Structure 1
Amino acid sequence: MSEKTAKRPRAGQSAGWLPTLTAAAPGLLVTLLIAVIQFSQPAALATLGNLVFDSYQRLYPRPYEDAGVRVVDIDDETIRRLGQWPWPRTDTARLTQTLTDAGAAVVAFDVVFSEPDRTSPARAAEILRQNPQARGDYADIAALPDHDLLFGQVMASSPTVAGYFLTRQSNAARPVEAAGVVVTGSPPMEALPAFEGSIPTLPAIAQNAAGAGFVSILGDRDGIIRRAPLLARINDRIVPSLSLEALRVAQGAGAVVVKSTDASGETSGGRVGVIAVKVGNFTAPTTREGELWMHYTDYRPERVVPAWKILEGRLSPEEMQAKFEGQVVFVGAGAVGLRDLVSTPLSERELGVIVHAQAAEQMILGKYLSRPDWALGFELILLTLFGVGLAILSPALGALRSGVIAGLSVALTIAGSWAAFRYGAILLEPTIPVLTIALVYTMVTSFSFYREERSRAYIRRAFDRYLSPELVERIARDPGQLELGGEERDMTVLFSDIRSFSRISEKMAPQELIRFLIELLTPLTDALLARKATIDKYIGDAVLAFWNAPLDDPDQYQNSAHGALDMIDAMKEMNARKSGLVGPWPGDIAIGIGLNAGRCCVGNMGSRQRLSYSLIGDAVNLASRLEGLTKVYGVPILMGQTLAREIPQFAQLEVDQVRVVGRDAPERIFALLGRPVMAGDRDFQAMKAAFADMLAAYRGQQWAAAQAALARVRETGAVFGLEKLAGLFAERIARYQLSPPPVDWDGVYQAEDK
């Protein structure tokens, strides 16, 4: 048995898991991402889950049971009959006394009496005195009892709860404290809704009430009231809601008891929060923030009594007793202009007092919606099981069968969530597991489709390794372009070569040398491709590239200059990093680049058996010679005069006039030293002017003047990397001083090598 045969895994061995894992990877990544998002609980996901819970409540509202809670509504008919609001406090006192006489266990006001009664006798007397036609000082009227004091006296003799508003604006006003709040465990101050001020009921009224509770209820981000706050804090003081305080007073109970998370050994992720609130005989489970999840009933007329029927005596004593004896009574305003309207899952326009009443009903009946601490963990496990299972099974089952499984999983998740709500009053959010199933199925099937398409495109990708993507597209559109021949274009050509490559290569094994070239040529090629170059070929360590073919490039000259400078920058970065795939980087590596522009013939060249998309022309040959001359003149980039004329904005320097090997006509050659920002540099301009003076004197055989100008060049030449160039001309000038050139010397340098 050969070594290769011995190492080949058998069917069912570990090699088989890799394709499965690869196919499942998108689904697994989606599952992981959604699990992280779910764990972080962003507000958008919470809103999505809330909308699902709203739909559940509309499908199955809480069945109404008479829990001994009534609402007295100051409705439009009441205002029409008894006059505009606010009424004289004597009317409110009469309403309170009538309810107390009927046997109400507590009368809680979802109305805040924060301003003195304008109709009190003293105020009325003052108004009368200001009348120009007044007679007397109305002292007998002013001496009558104040209406707020009368109302306070009735409150003192009745089981009542005064309401107050909480505000985010800081002020010194504080509501009266009746029985207070006791905390078992650490105070959950950070968890509770925080307020810095209040608008309380007048002290003359509130101090005579048996209790005080806040009436402020804030909805979620969409304005819907899904949770009723039972607790809040004003600075460092915990205060109860109107519904909680009403139950306390109705039972004659002491302080409200708040149970925090660490009172039962729970940690709540290290954050102290509320678990439950106990008031008298009732214990209500809450959210961490001390809120009660609301499960609303449909509108029930038997819960509400219009205030006018009570104040006008339309109900007999027996009827009053039947409706209110032993009842928790909330008084609220539902008239137009007074209406305290809120949105609930069941109604866009619901009286705010109804929320307080239904919160009290749920606490009395012990009928709660709950989202247990384990709900989030359960949902995470569910989405993980569905996501991982579907990701692994889908590639093997195919799109149709995995789609059926995904559909069944979605149906099972939604059905389970609904059953938990309907029969267990538990809120389990199905949206995230359902979203996971949908996204995993989509990603896995899309990835499978992509892999099939990638397989079909194998041949095309193979050609992409040898031809430019633009050329492949053109050939795909027009196969006739595979015919031999070409077209003439104005083009820009680049040749680059690695300095001392022979010495570098002799120190490496062949495989090391190949890896080294890949490591080196990849960033250089990236620099060219980023500037819209077409890579013609690699010749060992050399690169031939061009611009303006096969696609037109109106910025070919600027792109070629930027591309060459980008290659130099990439080379500096690699030298600074000094790391590669072949071990230690072989010292500082330099490249030389020749650039030239001119008319070329570009197209499919070669034989009928094998084609190559390339270009030929004098401009190509000159670019190759210029690359070789970079070693002579000691500059990294040399370009011909045609290209230099096209990019005057770049930092360029005419360095000589040369007659290259194989070419009769001389060529002015230029060093490309930098981008336009360097061209505007004052030192560069001074150096360029000095070098031009040197060249003029040199070509005019004025050797002393040439030496003087060259001295000026050398002062700043090192900054621009021109030490070797300056030394070259210093040597030439010194030689010609000793042995002058012929009289007919034209100043052209004859290159000896290619």
Structure 2
Amino acid sequence: MVKFWRRWREFYISLAGLVILISACLLYLGHLSFMPIVFQRMEALAYDLRMRLTASALVHKNPPILIVDIDERSLQFEGQWPWSRYKLASLIERLHAAGAAVIALDMTFPEPERHPLDEIRQRLGDKLPIGQNLLAHYQQLDADQHLADTLRGKTVILGYLFHQTDSFQKGELASIPIDGPVQAGTEPSSLVMQGYTANLTQLTKAAVQTGFLNIFPDDDGVIRSAPLVLEWQQQLYPSLAVQTVREYLADEQPLKLSTAQVGQVSVITHLAFAGKTLRTDPTGQIAIPFLGKAGQFQSFSATELLQSPLPTVFTDAIVLIGTSAKGLADLRSTPFQPGFPGVEAQATLIYALLHPELIPITPEWLDALVIVELLCLGLAMLWLYPYLQPYGMLVFGGALTVLVMGLNTWLWTYQHLNTPLLPPLFLVLALSLFFGLERLIKEYRQRQRIQTMFGQYVPAEHIDQLLANTKLKASMESERREMTVLFSDIRQFTPLAEQLSTTQVQQFLNAYLTPLTSIIFQHQGTVDKYVGDMIMAFWNAPLPDPAHAEHAVLAALAMQRSLAGMQPQFAELGLQQEVRAGIGVHSGEMTVGDMGSAYRRAYTVLGDAVNLASRLQELTKYYQVYTLVSLETVQLCPSLAFRVLDHVRVRGRQESVKIFQPLGLSSALSAMEHLHLAQHNAALQAYFVGDWWTAKHSLETLADQHLSHYYALILQRMQASAYQAPSTWDGIINLADH
């Protein structure tokens, strides 16, 4: 029966993992419509990061691609936009004279420029008839005709815009022959345009070529790819970048389009021109290989070229005229920055067409490649994960993540394949989380069974630590380590216990030990043992604690405060006197580990440092203070304040120790308390060096009812020698008998 349920459970887990794998495949193919927008956005962010990490600087500087920028400075000196067509004609004339090979305009002229004589007629009417001399020059004053005349005989390419949703038409499109026409009803829907805004007929006919300017942003507003051809009324039209490259390379052959049939849809696979064959995605787009932030191409302000002689750099160059002025709304968002000039995006696209080896490819068989990758990853994890522990899953999942990212980067960098990164990463993460959670739940249930079986015999914290951290098993071996140990013992416990019945003693110890143990745990301590009313605890084992001394001292102070607050509860049990405890704290090297016999073992500490902490606890009775700590502990607690009490040699130890009383956080003491502490420590320093008269007068002025017994004790020592330190005085008192 047990084997049956185990096999059924394994089958259920494998089936759930298979469902995750199938869901990942369906999600990638877009069949799960409740998540694609989120994943598309995340994939776009991954694409942007990969583009930024692998972008290369301008590596091919021939031919030069230059930008004539109608920037803010140009608008300031030449006047607001739109400029007169005469001014643009002058700019084109100067560029042509400077030897520019191709001039491409990243702008459209759908509206005629207002004729000056028509303007005069409209404003003056018949009041001031226009003379025949002016009418004779009507044709010469036509700015549109002047621009058209300027364009003739020059390699100038005009841009225009297609509309995806608006069906209106303005201007005139030039028919451009393309081999491999799209058939009605089979064209990819994303390529179909509904309308256009083109140039005036006379400008379209005068230009050597025209091309569309459209670069469609993704859903997040960032441009990452650009179409090379768009379809309108069963006719394909090339982009401005394509036409610019064709003119520069003197390509007189028609564009050649290659398509493939995928189901019922005809998709574009390649575009060939000027001896170059470019692989596109199924919609006829290519990824734009941005070179970095704006400024990758040499740019000239339009006003400088209109006012000054042109440099020789324009000879045989491809020149784009566009704008970066903010008010002209030709700024785009790219993977590198928002506010990227549209004219520089066109320049980047032209650069990519001239050097197609830089263009990442999105082939028509990409979906099949990703599905194969998902299946290989998923089947490998489904086969191996059931045999791995959580750490093994973490290592294997991390290795698969690195493998997926490395493969994606390799395909991008060396094969120029634009493959999605998110689907395989999502699959690795989902299956790793699923199997990891399943294994953790399994181990949790196993832990519960072990605790149920052995919890009444072995401390539960040891079981938890051993189950949670396999490395801790090695640390359970004995080792020398700097630690802090604490001893707490109720003063006069035996007379107190004689006032109570056996049941009341049990109730008293439970009420006493529970809150004090909780305080130790809260301050990251480990309770070693209880011996009647005595508590022994230590810090910095089994788990490391760099602030072990401070935590121990703060725990001691909190224990004393808690004990003071428990007095009403003790009175209800029948105790007639106040219950107080002495606490000793010491830091030093000691042996820690799992020690004992084959019958009973305990994780405990041993050594001289442990014995000294016990002696300090015993000395609290002698000084009648509640907490004592050693100099070694004080040196490890820079944020706490301490009152020096004595320099003694205790029983069983030849080396002397300075002892202190902890007061709390230095920052919590008032100014008066700091002053009193400084006076006290100064008096004790005089006492230690043998200046007993100074120490006597200082101590007599320190009226502190809490230390009245202590001050009387020190004054009594000095009075025995008439406040004159013996010649053998070294400041150390031998308390071996206490």
Match of 2:121 among 119, 126, 139: 126
Question: What is aligned with 2:204?
Answer: 206
Once the two structures are superposed, what CA deviation does each residue of 1:52-102 show, in whole Å capped at 9, x if it has no partner? 111011112232122432221111111111111111111111111111122
Aligned partner of residue 359 in structure 2, secondary structure: coil
Q: Which residue of 2 aligns with 1:274?
A: 268
In structure 1, C-alpha distance between the alignment counterparts of 2:7 and 2:226, rounded to whole Å = 53
Structure 1 residue 127: Cα displacement: 4.6
The structure-2 alpha-carbon separation of the partners of 1:420 and 1:440, relative to structure 1 and needing over 3 Å to count, comes to: same
**For residues 100 and 37 of structure 1, what CA distance do their matches in structure 2 show?**
54
Q: Conserved in 1, the CA contact under 8 Å of 2:106 and 2:320?
A: yes
* Alpha-carbon distance change, 45 to 271 in structure 1, aligned in 2, over 3 angstroms: farther
> Secondary structure of 1:162's match?
strand
Residue 346 of structure 1, CA deviation? 1.1
Q: CA deviation at 1:453?
A: 6.9
Instruction: Give 1:426 deviation, angstroms.
Output: 2.2
Structure 2 residue aligned with 1:49: 43
Report SS of the residue matched to 1:259.
Answer: strand
* Inter-partner Cα distance in structure 1 for 2:193 and 2:289: 26
Task: Tell me the CA shift for residue 148 of structure 1.
Answer: 0.5
Alignment of 1:39-438 (within 5 A): 39-40=29-30, 42-64=36-58, 65-66=60-61, 67-118=63-114, 120-127=115-122, 129-130=124-125, 135-144=128-137, 145=140, 146-167=142-163, 168-173=165-170, 175-183=172-180, 189-254=187-252, 256-262=254-260, 267-298=261-292, 299-300=294-295, 302-315=297-310, 319=311, 322-366=312-356, 367-438=358-429
CA separation of 1:409 and 1:201: change in aligned 2, threshold 3 A = same
- Letter in structure 2 aligned against 1:110: D
Over 3 Å counting, the alpha-carbon distance change for 1:301 and 1:312 in structure 2 is farther
Change (3 A) 1:183 1:125: same
CA 1:415 to 1:339, structure 2 compared with 1: closer, same or farther past 3 Å? Answer: same
**Offset of 1:201 from its aligned partner?**
0.9
Q: Percent identity?
A: 22
* TM-score (normalised: structure 1): 0.54
Task: For 1:255 and 1:200, locate their aligned partners in 2 and report how far apart those are by CA, in whole Å.
Answer: 24
Aligned-residue offset at 1:424: 3.0
Amino acid at match of 1:417: N
Distance 1:445 1:439, change over 3 A: same
Q: Is the 8 A contact 2:157 2:210 kept in 1?
A: yes
Write the letter of the residue equivalent to 1:196: Q
Counterpart CA distance in 2 for 1:232 and 1:150 is 31
Counterpart residue identity of residue 177, structure 1? A
CA-to-partner distance for each residue in 1:575-600, whole Å, 9 max, x for gaps? xxxxxxxxxxxxxxxxxxxxxxxxxx
Give yes or no for contact 1:192–1:233 (8 Å, CA) kept in 2: no
Where 2:278 maps in the other structure, the secondary structure is strand
- Inter-partner Cα distance in structure 1 for 2:10 and 2:416: 41
Q: Aligned partners of 1:224, 1:258: CA distance in 2, in Å?
A: 29
Query: Does the Cα contact within 8 Å between 1:230 and 1:240 map onto a contact in 2?
Result: yes
CA contact (8 A) 1:178 1:212 kept: no
Contact 1:21 1:392 in 2 (8 A): no
- 1:619-640 Cα shifts (integer Å, max 9, x gaps): xxxxxxxxxxxxxxxxxxxxxx
Q: Cα distance 1:378–1:216, how it changes in 2: closer, same or farther (>3 A)?
A: closer
Cα pair distance change 1:27/1:379, threshold 3 Å: same
Match for residue 690 of structure 1? none
- Give 1:92's aligned amino acid: L
Contact 2:171/2:200, CA 8 A, preserved across alignment: no
Corresponding letter in the other structure for 1:216? N
- Report the Cα offset of residue 224 of structure 1: 0.8
> What SS does the corresponding residue of 1:223 show, helix, strand or coil?
coil
- Deviation string, structure 1 residues 302-347 (Cα, Å, up to 9, x no partner): 43222112111243xxx2xx32222222211222311401111112
**Hey, what's the Cα distance between the residues in 2 that align with 1:201 and 1:73?**
21
Partner SS, residue 97 of structure 1: helix
Structure 1 pair 172–427 and aligned structure 2 pair: CA distance change class (3 A): closer
Residues 1:33 and 2:23 aligned together:
yes
Structure 1 residues 90-148: Cα deviation after superposition (integer angstroms, max 9, x where no partner): 11111111111222222111111111112x33334325534x9x655254334421110
Runs of 5+ consecutive residues of structure 1 not aligned to the other structure: 1-7, 459-754
Q: How many pairs are equivalent?
A: 436
Distance 1:73 1:439 in 2: 50
Alignment of 1:477-492 (within 5 A): none
Q: Tell me the alpha carbon deviations over residues 21-40 of structure 1, each in whole angstroms, 9 at most, x when there is no partner.
A: 33322222211211122233
Structure 2 stretches lacking a partner, 5+ long: 450-738
Indicate how the Cα distance of structure 1 residues 180 and 129 shifts in structure 2: closer, same or farther if over 3 A, else same. farther
Partner amino acid for 1:179?
A: I
The verdict on how the C-alpha distance between 1:423 and 1:294 changes in structure 2, with shifts beyond 3 A counting, is same
TM-score by length of 2: 0.55
Structure 1's 189 and 269: CA in aligned 2 closer, same or farther, altered over 3 A?
closer
Q: 1:135 to 1:102 in 2, by over 3 A?
A: same
**C-alpha separation in 2, matches of 1:399 and 1:452:** 10
* 139 and 277 in structure 1: CA distance in 2 versus 1, 3 angstrom threshold: farther
Deviations 1:433-463 (A, max 9, x none): 11111111211233344566789999xxxxx
Post-superposition offset of 1:364: 0.7
Correspondence 1:730-745 to 2 at 5 A: none
Residues 1:40 and 1:135: Cα distance change in structure 2 (over 3 Å): closer
**SS of residue paired to 2:327:** coil
Moved more, 143-152 or 166-175: 166-175
**Residues 339 and 184 (structure 1 numbering): CA distance in 2 closer, same or farther, change over 3 Å?**
closer
What letter matches 2:354 in structure 1?
I
Change (3 A) 1:344 1:302: closer
CA deviation profile, 1:601-655 (whole Å, cap 9, x unmatched): xxxxxxxxxxxxxxxxxxxxxxxxxxxxxxxxxxxxxxxxxxxxxxxxxxxxxxx
TM superposition shift of 1:363: 0.8
Once the two structures are superposed, residues 348-371 of structure 1 have per-residue CA deviations (whole angstroms, 9 ceiling, x without a partner) of 111111121111111112221112
Instruction: Please show how residues 543-558 of structure 1 align to structure 2 within 5 Å.
Output: none
**In 2: Cα distance, 1:289 partner to 1:139 partner:** 57
- Residues 151 and 174 from structure 1, CA distance in 2 versus in 1: closer, same or farther, beyond 3 angstroms? closer
8 A Cα contact 1:104 1:325, kept in partner:
yes
Change (3 A) 1:273 1:258: farther
Does the 8 A contact of 1:226 with 1:293 survive in 2?
Answer: yes
8 Å contact kept, 1:70–1:304? yes
| Contact residue 123 and residue 142 of structure 1 kept, 8 A | no
CA deviations 1:646-670 (Å, max 9, x no partner) are xxxxxxxxxxxxxxxxxxxxxxxxx
Q: For the aligned residues, what is the CA RMSD?
A: 2.9
- Rounded to whole Å, the distance in 2 between the matches of 1:180 and 1:305 is 35
* CA offset digits 1:392-442 (Å, max 9, x no partner): 322321222112111111122112212322333322222111111111121
